[in-house]
Amino acid sequence: SAFETAPTQSRVRVDLIDVRLKTVRATTEHQHLRYNPLRDTWVLVSAHRMKRPWSGQVEKEEEDQVPQHDPNNPLCPGNTRANGEVNPDYNNTFVFENDFPALQPNAPDPGYNQHPLFQSKAARGVCKVMCFHPWSDVTLPLMTLPDIIKVIDKWAELMVDLGSTYPWVQIFENKGAMMGCSNPHPHCQVWASNFLPNEATLSDRCQREYLKTHGEPLLLQYAKMEAEKQERVVVQNADWLAVVPYWATWPFQTLLLPRRHVQRLTNLTAQEREGLASIMKRLLTKYDNLFQISFPYSMGWHGAPTGPYLKEDQFHWQLHAHYYPPLLRSAGVRKFMVGYEMLAQEQRDLTPEQVIHLGNSITATYAIYKHRSSSV
């Protein structure tokens, strides 16, 4: 199924996607635009650009041999962090206040400025770090299902805690040095703010307008249609669906959706949390298998706003998670969002359907860290 690849004795360093595309029939070779209803924007799809030779930057592969416990790693159990605090000897998840937070609860108000070109307002919040596991040499796809469920349960717990006060609670994971992650220990961050961030505000507006126009939540209808079409589905189970969205910008971007109308992580049933753990493990294993590396990405959850919004009608919202991996052609070649993407609009170099066909053309299943994951 999609994203799986056959085992090899060594990592493939050639342009894997170029090789595979020769055996894949593209949905269309002609450039076209696709509409992203979640952001009210258009994406330029230029599938033919994958034929061009690549002589640009090649990323250095990350070090494979991460120790299970590093006495100098501030995220490991029992170690001392930069602020002098000592971590407990935790054996599953561990949450602490970020030692260098981007948001603080008692930041002063910058004051009100009347001129429309020089506006500012108060930004307050809290930033937390959440470790997934006590071992540094594992990632989510290498963890057991019970351990992944503990991560999901802790996410929901933090949503209840922080969401009781703050309008927005952003859970996100940056995985890999390519995504700016400076520590290999498995962890994510949770930022809660007294304001709705730009992406949340935009998504809220788009989902609200879609419900008003079409009578059904946008992503609930979208999940039903993708499940029927089966054209862009990566993995699925009874409660969840992971797709390469029709409007994807990043080459191997995926969207994780519940099949039931669910507005927040806190609304998931025990069965849905188990199903989520299973589909996350499968999806992330497929990512790792694609280029036979620990696949880098930024991911995050979007759900209905919290805090004062808990008392308001949020029927238009549907819970979902975004996965944004940067890689394009191989483990060392990434997609750069520069030039046209920064100054004009988003552009991608292969269609979502090509991504699915690339994965479906490889039938073998193989986990690059299989020998390690068996002991986790």
R_g (Cα) of the chain, nearest Å: 21
Phi first, then psi: what are they for 61, rounded to 5°?
A: -70, 140
> Annotated binding residue at 50?
yes
Alpha-carbon distance of 337 to 173, in angstroms, equals 20
Active-site annotation holder among 133, 187, 302, 316: 187
> Annotated binding residue at 336?
yes
> Annotated binding residue at 113?
no
Buried b (16+ CB within 10 A) or exposed e, 270-287: eebbbbbbbbbbbbbbbb
> Annotated binding residue at 51?
yes
Alpha-carbon distance of 99 to 110, in angstroms, equals 23
> Annotated binding residue at 349?
no
Q: What is the dihedral of CA 72, 79, 150, 2, to 10 degrees?
A: 0
> Annotated binding residue at 78?
no
Tokens of 373: 């994951």
> Annotated binding residue at 98?
yes
Q: Report which of 258, 167, 268 is spatially closest to residue 217, judged by C-alpha positions.
A: 258
> Annotated binding residue at 248?
no
Alpha-carbon distance of 80 to 70, in angstroms, equals 11
> Annotated binding residue at 347?
yes
> Annotated binding residue at 181?
yes
> Annotated binding residue at 99?
yes
> Annotated binding residue at 159?
no
115 is catalytic: no
Identity of residue 63 = E
> Annotated binding residue at 82?
yes
Q: Report which of 312, 335, 323, 321 is spatially closest to residue 203, judged by C-alpha positions.
A: 321
Gap between the terminal Cα atoms of the chain: 25
Annotated binding site for UDP-alpha-D-glucose: 49-52, 82, 98-99, 174, 180-182, 189, 335-336, 340-341, 347
Q: Annotated catalytic sites, by residue?
A: 187
Annotated binding site: 49-52, 82, 98-99, 174, 180-182, 189, 335-336, 340-341, 347
